[in-house]
């Protein structure tokens, strides 16, 4: 019985980690798209849209 609970708990933990990593990849892709769009929109004016 304890083994079954431990296996189910591990499956839930690894499933949660997988979902979190997938969500982080989606967030990173959205940020990259916004950065690329901003880079091309502002490059026509000769100014940088970021401050570094």
Q: Label residues 15-43 b or e (16+ Cβ within 10 Å = b).
A: eeeeeeeeeeeeeeeeeeeeeeeeeeeee
Confidence (pLDDT) at 4: 86
pLDDT in tens, 1-40: 888 888 888 888 888 888 888 888 899 999 999 888 877 7
Confidence (pLDDT) at 29: 92
Both tokens of 25, joined, read 């990849």
Compare 47 and 40 and report the one with higher pLDDT.
40
CB neighbour list of residue 13: distance below 8 Å, 6 or more residues apart: none
End-to-end CA distance of the chain: 57
Tally of structural domains, the chain: 1
Does residue 6 sit within a domain? no
Q: Which domain holds residue 30?
A: 25-45+48-52
Does residue 30 sit within a domain? yes
Confidence (pLDDT) at 2: 85
Confidence (pLDDT) at 16: 86
Per DSSP, 44 falls in state T
Does residue 32 sit within a domain? yes
pTM over 0.85: no
Does residue 33 sit within a domain? yes
Cα–Cα dist 35/40, whole Å: 9
Does residue 34 sit within a domain? yes
Does residue 41 sit within a domain? yes
Does residue 40 sit within a domain? yes
């Amino acid at each position: 019985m304890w083994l079954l609970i431990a296996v189910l708990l591990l499956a839930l933990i690894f499933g949660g980690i997988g979902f979190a990593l997938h969500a982080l990849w989606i967030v990173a892709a959205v940020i990259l798209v916004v950065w690329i769009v901003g880079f091309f929109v502002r490059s026509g004016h000769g100014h940088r849209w970021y401050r570094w």
